[in-house]
Amino acid sequence: MTLRVAVLGVGLMGTYHAETLANRTSGVAVTVINDFSPERAQEVAHSTGARVVSDPLEAIAADDVDAVVIATPGPAHEKQVLACLETGKPVLCEKPLTTDAESSLAIVKAEAELGKQLIQVGFMRRYDHEYAHLRGVVESGELGAPLLLHCAHRNKATHPHFDSEMVVKDALVHEVDVTRFLFGEEITAVRILTPAPVSTSHENLRDPQFAIFETESGRMVDVEVFVNTGIAYEVRTEAVFERGSVQIGLGMGAVHKTAPGVWGGPVTADFRERFDQAYASQLQAWADQSRKAIASGNYVVNGPRAWDGYAAAVVCEAGVRALNSGERVAIELPERASIPGA
């Protein structure tokens, strides 16, 4: 079967998803586009062969839609994801699942009560070949137990309204999921430090930030988040094990050595260039999974689930408290097993 997909929200991320689904994902047809801007929706619909539906809930319920990709602003996610559950349609929701932990947990419970796994959260780094390799090293035990994780997350620039809390909720959230994905355990505490800001910061933006996570088994993670470097997009991760270390994100495929004693290479311009493969792999895996679920009636999500979106929301909420207080903030999650099907 061909999976007929509606894409809600066609800003930078949603347009990228719509074009990837239409042109690079097998077994998929983009049939419906929705956006608050009619002009933008029409432009993307024209390029993908879709039609425009102005109401997002009507787009979800449309007869020519089998599954949904949500790339709208975070505050709209809760209502739209719940609508997908009500119509029984698989959904790939860009992070955040919702903008607060309470509503994310409500969605986890709603999906569990439904008895079908319909929600996948767009933590695409799990589909990146380098992160998958690093996870494999952790699982194999070939270097012993992992002890530490060092992360750097740098953007070239952000829009003028980007503030300190958005550094946590929109950028650091990826390292929250990376930590949980690589170590296979929950984060139990967070602290965020704010060094001297870059000169381009404004009064509502403390940039860069430095986060420290603690996990259930006592492992520690440090994360530098710097969203206005003025240079390029860089994401690097180094895992330190008992008998060695592994570093990813160096772009070592194009390293140059030149006189006098200089070496280097290009740095990716933005997130699409760095994680193009991961996004494409994520969408193909989601589409294949959704087609199988619809055909068989066995709805199972193999990627990041609603619980992962909820856990990230809890950590980010704690991160904002840590940011504003300067203190270590402990984190408590309910036992996942206490919500059957979560």
pLDDT of residue 262: 61
pLDDT of residue 6: 98
Q: Give the tokens for residue 191.
A: 């602290």
**Whole-Å CA distances, 145 to 5, 29, 108, 135, 243:** 42, 44, 31, 12, 8
| Alpha-carbon gap, residue 89 to 117, rounded angstroms | 10
Q: Give the tokens for residue 165.
A: 């809390």
Characterise 206 by phi-psi region: left (phi > 0), alpha (psi -120 to 50), beta (else): beta
Query: What are the phi and psi torsion angles at 72 (to 5°)?
Result: -80, 170
State pLDDT tens for residues 62-73: 999 999 999 999
Cis omega (within 30 of 0) for bond into 160: no
pLDDT of residue 263: 58
pLDDT of residue 255: 37
pLDDT of residue 156: 92
Q: Under CATH, which architecture does the 129-270 domain have?
A: 2-Layer Sandwich (3.30)
User: Which residue ranges in the chain fall short of pLDDT 50?
Assistant: 253-259
Confidence (pTM): 0.91
Q: Under CATH, which architecture does the 3-125+275-305 domain have?
A: 3-Layer(aba) Sandwich (3.40)
Three-state DSSP at 310 gives helix
What are residue 246's DSSP bridge partners?
239
Annotated domain spans of the chain: 3-125+275-305, 129-270
**CATH topology identical between 3-125+275-305 and 129-270:** no
Three-state DSSP at 269 gives coil
